[in-house]
Structure 1
């Protein structure tokens, strides 16, 4: 029998684990049949969400409030889940999966007494940048898909339905299996209609995310991919209050901090991470890091992993 949780507590637990995703109660609802839990899979967090709320939604205000960015690998456990995300509408039943992008708006309708999902939090910049492009966001992968079956078998081998289990799963392997399950052959940009500046900007962001660590990523390369002049691309970024260079540097620093946040020990690996992110000059990288975060990369890592002070 499901435990009842006061709605306000359920709402706060959801925020604490998933960030600014807002639970919306059913009319007059004061208690939720279910609860929110969090578990570990290697260095990844896994949210365990039970509830009969009307929906969970992510809007532009929620996106702006969150400092961290994730790709959420969602597995429906019981009940059904209707998802509206990334211009796709999907209905998940037990065993079905999809990916959610925390930088995009979305709505999850879960108004069933037994609705339960699990969500693996994948650091977004690392997930998109280190693996092949063409990942399908917001599109259902049904339980009968052979790749899905292999993926979920790997997941539950280390993490059973009740959230117990070994919890020593290989996060890198899970990353790769999710990419395999949700990737499609890259068709190139032929035939994509770029009818307005918003579409061009969204496509530019996608290209930067999936080619972030490549040596060839540059303004001329991006302009060629979009079939625009460099001046047109510059104006595209200026309209968003940024520039190509500033945006790429920001995403590359996020790539580095995501790795520093999750690696318990670095021991000389910071330079390797910086090179993998696309930085080619370590001196400039270190100066820029200090200017952005007010400390060196090593001090940043130490502060993220230092033990909390002992409470008397």
Structure 2
């Protein structure tokens, strides 16, 4: 949500008229803080912070221009996974909490891209979001452990894959490089990818080969030598590039032009 609304109020009357029995996770993505009251308690959300709204009376005051994410989830879905989540309403989650950072990135991915086409994939995405919301709001004990093994792991995997898609052309790209960016160990990243059936090196190689093939097919790169394209997508050995390209696509790079 984005706009110039600088005051949002929910009264007892509006709650009674609302038939949507949902929790909402409100994440402030504005460059400035927003604040107000929730259940008569003062609340302030600094940039990147979030709080769980269970549909209680509130007044939120913004700035001249505001951006925020408003994630609504049926209460029964969160209550089934996190028995005491209702006690977490109104509590602010810090912007630098890993689960919140991953949730922001995960939601952005599906906001800017296509929704999952298959029901099973949609269910997986929904389960991951629910698990991350539970962790954001401070799930403890067995609930947190289960959510960490599913939602947190899935979101970390997507963050690693996004980094590979973005930085694959960097010859210095490594599990250690991505680990420093995401605050994960290189071994953990390797294990995450190995569990998918395609390891770190395989995924980087695939991205580089796909990009090289696209450039070879693109008239805008017709003046570039094949070696230039190979180096541009991250290869530092032209012979190795030629072998990999032929093994992946069944022909020499020159045939793609």
Structure with higher Rg: it is 2
TM-score bin (small chain): 0.3 to 0.5
**TM-score (normalised: structure 2):** 0.46
More helix by share: 2
TM (norm. structure 1) is 0.39
